[in-house]
Amino acid sequence: MLSHTYYHVFNTKKKREYINITGVVEKQLAESSVREGLVLISAMHITASIYVNDAERGIIEDIDEWLERLAPEGIDYKHHRTGEVNGDAHLKNLLLHHQVLVPVTGGCLDLGPWQQIYYAEFDGRRPKKIVIKIIGE
């Protein structure tokens, strides 16, 4: 069994940002030589998420508006008593989750025709990191 681990570090420009990372994952899959297996992509920040969905501006805006309705910024969350002011970002993470698992078939990500892998940032404007773990044969 082969195993490949890659840490991708990047800077987010906005407080809330949705970044298509499919190309980064595909590049690491090619470097791994895995033909059949799994790719785990995980955000290494509790105020960020990894998700799979359509690469279409409207759905990204819909996701952002939905998350803001469910976990609005500016509310006095109990978490803020710790000195932090990002309680909404923690809750948004719970709604989209922090990682995804994608199958690998024939050396390619086995995604649906419109599916892409996204990093969603909810408390950004600083360096961020994801881990890509690939296992298989």
Task: Using the CB atoms, write b or e for 57-75: b if 16+ within 10 Å.
Answer: eeebeebbeebeeebebee
- pTM (2 d.p.): 0.95
Domain spanning 2-136: which superfamily? YjbQ-like (2.60.120.460)
Q: For 55-65, write each residue's pLDDT tens digit.
A: 999 999 999 99
Task: Identify the CA nearest to 117 among candidates 19, 9, 22, 6.
Answer: 22
Residues contacting 51, CB < 8 A, separation 6+: 96, 97, 100, 117, 118, 120
CB 63 within 8 A of CB 53: yes
Q: For 89-118, write each residue's pLDDT tens digit.
A: 999 999 999 999 999 999 999 999 999 999
